[in-house]
Amino acid sequence: MANTNIHITTTINGQPYEFLAPSYMSLLDALREIVGLTGTKEGCLDGNCGACTVNVDGRIVDSCLVLAAEIDGCEVETVEGMASSEGLHPLQKAFLEEAALQCGICTPGFLVAAKGLLDNEPNPSEHRIRHWLAGNLCRCTGYDKIVKAVQKVSSEG
Amino acid sequence: MVQTFKHQSEYKVIGSRPVRHDGFDKVTGRAIYGGDIKLPGLIWGALTRSPHAHAKIKSIDTRAAEKIEGVLAIITSKDMPETEDKMVDLGEGDENPRWTSNKLMAQQKVLYKGHPVAAVAAVNRYIAEHAATKIKVEYEVLEAHNDVDSALRKDAAIILESLEGDDLGEEIHNTNLAKHEKYEFGDVDKAFTNATYIEENTYTMQMVHQGYIEPHNATAFWDEEDRVKIWTSTQGAFTARTALSNLLQLDVSRIKVTPCEIGGGFGGKIPVYLEPIAALLSKKTGRPVKMMMERTAVFETTGPTPGGKVWVKIGADKEGKLIVAESKIWFEAGCNPGSMIEPAAQCIYAPYDIQNTRIDTYDVIVNKPKVAPYRAPGSPQVAYAMESAVNDLCEKAGWDPLEFRMSNASDKDTRRGDGVKFSVIGTKEVIKATKNSDHWNSDLGTSEKGKVRGRGISHGYWFNIGLKSSVNLNVNKDGTVTLIEGSTDIGGSRASISMQAAEVLGIPAEDVRPSVVDTDSVGYTDVTGGSRTTYATGFAAWEAANNLIVEMKKRVALYFDRNNEDVNFESGVFSVEPDIENEKPERKITFKEIAEKIDDDDLGGPVNSVGSVDLESAGDGFGMHIADVEVDLATGKTDVIRYTAVQDVGKAIHPSYVEGQMQGGAAQGIGWALNEEYFMQDEGGMVNSSFLDYRMPTSLDLPKIETVLVEVPTPLHPYGVRGVGEVPICPPLAAVGNALKDALGIRFSDLPMNPAKIIKAIGN
């Protein structure tokens, strides 16, 4: 295991970060183990569950499939960056009011993914929401209340 | 003694939909799940796993792994303490620690693909995982048995040589049959001769996984005094403590389990997997050790619910009375005995009143992971068989399937297939609500060319367990109350438990502040499972709240200078009538006002209370689902286009989370019906052990899931709560199967009913 550390300069949730990460380290592990942001969750480590979804330069990605080294110079947004001094993001609020989470492990990924949709398409159809969120697995809710929460924000938006 | 309750119709808190107390932490990423634990000096553990499903271990060579820089310790089965050979009650299923220890770290043989053979501790996760691949194990591969027919063959390889099987009470050896049980009532053979219509079929199914998104994890620290601290995602901290006590041969008081937030369980996070291994690695290194299970191993080595086969034969007289039922249930236990054949027998005939019944159940060892509870364990499989058979019987005789279920419905005092008689149940109310639902009264609509539609219904039943729970309440100076409990919150139970205390105390749900704490900090509490948590821990909260009112009345009496028994309490207000003789006026004070005074005045000190329960049942639960499907005749793909879940929930404490349970259970059942399975290789081992290949339903695969909450309060609970979580996974398999029968005229009796089977059956 060749251990070359890579120097990474990046912006995470609007804050500048600079750190060294092993060349083989994923963005997921860098966020959780180096930066200390554990809101982004590990579910499968092969890009199939979406629990580790983050936004890199305006695109949602599975952070388990991105190397930490790849975010050098990028802007990263995680679930921890959604709420502001004004309070929760409307999606976070809608998830609470609509009971759109049960165990909550998939919730950060769903929130980041849903924000990625509404940032670009404020009024998606139900089908579009279901299609967009199909990369995020939830085993508790049957998705019904998640889709309703996203619809609630889009109709209020 | 069973206490029964009258139920009031007007509640202030019960039935409302407050934001859950842990919600803010969970939408902001702050909530600490098991995988988020960090400790000073933390190191990582990883497992070396068997590539074979059945093999003798000839040798284990750890030398190359030991030489890797950063490796701190390696253990094998030799490091596992010798355990007792006895059955231990773990809440939702018993376990023998001798088998469990062998399941967690293979001794002479590996029994399933992925079976751990060694564990490594290293300074970080990457080195630990790398070193685990460098442990050389020599195997002598044996024939693997993937299913009950293969395992029960006369010439089958014996999987557990020391197994003493139980064939109707007779001890048997040299077998893969762990247990055969029989339940019989009435005269089955005679009744079949009197039956006008008979339906008989065999239904087969594969193992399926709970599919929680959070992998298993554990962090352990074993200190110099032989005290062990565990942080983990578990459905039952006390159950984990009991299991660890047996596996590590330590008294329970030496083990402290801190239940972290948990990312789904559905029964699969009741057993321990990594916890004892992390503890032993910590013992050897003197460092806290963390382990996270990779997704492949989650599929290959944890969880599943049994596959197997169910033969059903039922008979009705010419008037449409279901007079007789007979069944044989073979379940795959996996590598150790214990496949939930008992609950299968308890559930199979439960929706019906049948006088003559017989059930044979068979618990069969196979070379697959040991099964774990999965949402109503055993019930969906038998509901699939029974409800398909009932559908086909009705079709044969020309009866309406809903009316047939109504006229044969179980009721108070009906005897289940295992002999137990029901208390107050809502079977008929559920059928009535199904009949009145918008879905049942809407037509199927028309499909485009090349597609066909069908509708199916099915019952589902789960008995729901009671068991033990503890709750402590403490009054704060600001009029709020802290609620200390031991039930892991998987789906909003902090809210549903706090609401029951708030209702008694006459304060808002938000003013009860719940904390789920470790095993040193609250009384014994059984698992979050068996649909028991809102029922039993909620009951304990109700009891603690009533005890708290007694304590508060003492303070109010001191404050008003009156006797304890003069103090009344209603809707959050304490009051005393005027005492004319002693010239004392009428007085009133709210819960919050008296709470504010407790610290300041000499009113008897801090106010706290305890609730502790041990309950028999959480009220039998019935549900009925309606499924509309559309099949693409070119591809064989089935879309569920409309779906409704109807269920007797007793009383919905927080209706949103009750609906959520019903929707989630339905979604899991739809996945099971149409797509999910352990796809096995002939030589053993699952080939689809990733989320991509196992392919659980996504948001795009499912329609809206409509819910109808029927409330027939159980007299066993102060608010009439019934267990809710498990019933909804029982009906979907047959509801979808019956809809496919309606659409295509073909009975699919082998799960999953996937496109390949549909295409083959329609002959395209």
Same domain, B74 and B96: yes
Asked if B22 and B31 count as a contact pair (C-beta separation under 8 A), the reply is yes
Residue B600 scores a pLDDT above 80: no
Same domain, A98 and A53: no
* Residue B679 φ/ψ, nearest 5 degrees: -90, 115
Rounded CA separation B344/B418 (Å): 10
- For chain B, say whether A101 makes contact (Cβ under 8 Å): yes
Same domain, A66 and A124: no
Q: How confident is the model at residue B85 (pLDDT cuts 50, 70, 90)?
A: confident
Asked if B724 and B649 count as a contact pair (C-beta separation under 8 A), the reply is yes
Beta-carbon separation of A41 and B31 below 8 A: no
Q: Which amino acid is residue B760, in one-letter code?
A: K
Candidates B210, B215, B660; nearest CB to A99:
B660
CATH code, domain carrying B469: 3.30.365.10
Beta-carbon separation of B24 and A40 below 8 A: no
Residues of B in contact with A135 (CB under 8 A): 698
Same domain, A108 and A70: no
For residue B202, is it within any domain?
no
Same domain, B129 and B272: yes
What is the residue-averaged pLDDT of chain B? 96
Show Cβ contacts of residue B566 under 8 Å, excluding neighbours closer than 6 positions: B557, B576, B577, B579
For residue B658, is it within any domain?
yes
Residue B480 scores a pLDDT above 90: yes
Same domain, A75 and A94: no
For the stretch B282-341, pLDDT in tens is 999 999 999 999 999 999 999 899 999 999 999 999 999 999 999 999 999 999 999 999
Q: Is the peptide bond before B752 cis (omega within 30 degrees of 0)?
A: yes
Q: In Å, how far is B198's CA from the nearest CA of chain A? A: 37
Looking at residue B169, what is its pLDDT?
97
Same domain, B325 and B279: no
CATH code, domain carrying B126: 3.90.1170.50
Concatenated DSSP letters of B404-454: HHHHTB--TTPBPTTSPBP-S--HHHHHHHHHHSTTTTS----PPTTEEEE
Q: How confident is the model at residue B764 (pLDDT cuts 50, 70, 90)?
A: low
CA dihedral B442, B444, B445, B449 (to 10 degrees): 180
Beta-carbon separation of B663 and A129 below 8 A: no
How many CA atoms lie within 13 Å of B584's alpha carbon, on the beta-carbon side? 14
CA distances from B674 to B248, B361, B669 (A): 42, 26, 9
CATH code, domain carrying A13: 3.10.20.30
Same domain, B137 and B231: yes
Burial of B162 (0-12, 13-18, 19+ CB in 10 A): exposed
Q: In Å, how far is A95's CA from the nearest CA of chain B? A: 8
Domain end marker among B615, B638, B673? B615
Q: Count the neighbouring beta carbons within 10 Å of the beta carbon of residue A23.
A: 13
Same domain, A95 and A57: no
H helix intervals, B562-680 = 591-598, 655-674
Beta-carbon separation of B213 and A133 below 8 A: no
**Angle between helical axes of A107-120 and A90-97 (0-180°, round to 10):** 130
Residue by residue, what is the 3-state secondary structure of B92-125? Answer: CCEECHHHHHHHHCCCCEECCCCCEEEEEEECCH
Q: In Å, how far is A144's CA from the nearest CA of chain B? A: 6
Closest of B213, B282, B391, B4 to residue A102, by C-alpha = B213
Same domain, B254 and B353: no
Residues of A in contact with B212 (CB under 8 A): 103, 105, 139
Residue scoring higher pLDDT (A147 or B685): A147
- For chain B, say whether A104 makes contact (Cβ under 8 Å): yes
Asked if A51 and A4 count as a contact pair (C-beta separation under 8 A), the reply is no
Looking at residue B607, what is its pLDDT?
96
> Which token pair is A53?
């979804």
For the stretch B226-273, pLDDT in tens is 999 999 999 999 999 999 999 999 999 999 999 999 999 999 999 999
Classify B623 as helix, strand or coil. Answer: strand
Same domain, A104 and A57: no
CATH code, domain carrying A131: 1.10.150.120
- For chain B, say whether A95 makes contact (Cβ under 8 Å): yes
Looking at residue B100, what is its pLDDT?
93
Average pLDDT, integer, range B362-387: 98
Classify B85 as helix, strand or coil. Answer: coil
For residue B169, is it within any domain?
no
> Which token pair is B277?
């291994």
Average pLDDT, integer, range A19-26: 96
Domain end marker among A64, A81, A98? A81
- For chain B, say whether A65 makes contact (Cβ under 8 Å): no
Looking at residue B87, what is its pLDDT?
79
Same domain, B224 and B103: yes
For the stretch B376-393, pLDDT in tens is 999 999 999 999 999 999
Length of chain B, in residues: 764
Same domain, B235 and B329: no
Same domain, A56 and A115: no
How many CA atoms lie within 13 Å of B658's alpha carbon, on the beta-carbon side? 29
Q: Count the neighbouring beta carbons within 10 Å of the beta carbon of residue B495.
A: 27
Same domain, A14 and A73: yes
Domain end marker among A52, A81, A110? A81
Same domain, B744 and B638: yes
Candidates A80, A136, A144; nearest CB to B663:
A144
Rounded CA separation B250/B582 (Å): 62
Residue B431 scores a pLDDT above 80: yes
Q: How confident is the model at residue B1 (pLDDT cuts 50, 70, 90)?
A: very low
For the stretch B21-50, pLDDT in tens is 999 999 999 999 999 999 999 999 999 999
For residue B684, is it within any domain?
yes
Residue B106 scores a pLDDT above 70: yes
- Angle among Cα B557, B563, B566 to the nearest 5 degrees reads 90
Same domain, A122 and A148: yes
Q: How confident is the model at residue B617 (pLDDT cuts 50, 70, 90)?
A: confident
| Total number of domains constituting chain A | 2
| Total number of domains constituting chain B | 3
Same domain, A69 and A104: no
- For chain B, say whether A144 makes contact (Cβ under 8 Å): yes
Beta-carbon separation of B214 and A82 below 8 A: no
Average pLDDT, integer, range B54-63: 98
Same domain, B313 and B260: no
Q: In Å, how far is B402's CA from the nearest CA of chain A? A: 26
Same domain, B455 and B470: no
Same domain, A104 and A70: no
Beta-carbon separation of B656 and A78 below 8 A: no
Domain end marker among B254, B288, B322? B288
Rounded CA separation B397/A139 (Å): 39
For the stretch B171-202, pLDDT in tens is 999 999 999 999 999 999 999 999 999 999 99
Q: In Å, how far is A8's CA from the nearest CA of chain B? A: 20
Which residue segment(s) compose the domain that B65 sits in?
A: 38-143+217-288
Same domain, A50 and A108: no
Q: In Å, how far is B78's CA from the nearest CA of chain A? A: 29
> Which token pair is B328?
């044989």
Q: Which site among A1, A133, A143 would you substitute to test the B interface, given the most B Cβ atoms closer than 10 Å to its Cβ?
A: A143
Domain end marker among A63, A81, A99? A81
Same domain, B520 and B602: yes
Minimal-distance CA residue of chain B relative to A147: B699
Domain end marker among B226, B255, B288? B288
Closest of B554, B551, B560 to residue B589, by C-alpha = B560
Same domain, B115 and B63: yes
Closest of A1, A76, A72 to residue A31, by C-alpha = A76
Residues of A in contact with B658 (CB under 8 A): none
Q: Which site among A139, A145, A150 would you substitute to test the B interface, given the most B Cβ atoms closer than 10 Å to its Cβ?
A: A139
Rounded CA separation B692/A46 (Å): 9
For residue B681, is it within any domain?
yes
Instruction: Using a pLDDT cut of 70, give the percent of chain B over it.
Output: 99
Looking at residue B367, what is its pLDDT?
98
For the stretch B571-595, pLDDT in tens is 899 999 999 998 899 999 999 999 9
Which residue segment(s) compose the domain that A56 sits in?
A: 5-81
Residue A143 scores a pLDDT above 80: yes
- Angle among Cα B549, B553, B557 to the nearest 5 degrees reads 175
Looking at residue B618, what is its pLDDT?
82
For the stretch B689-722, pLDDT in tens is 999 999 999 999 999 999 999 999 999 999 999 9
For residue B148, is it within any domain?
no
Asked if B115 and B369 count as a contact pair (C-beta separation under 8 A), the reply is no
DSSP letter (8 states) at residue B511 = G
Q: Which site among B20, B24, B28, B692 would you substitute to test the A interface, given the most A Cβ atoms closer than 10 Å to its Cβ?
A: B28
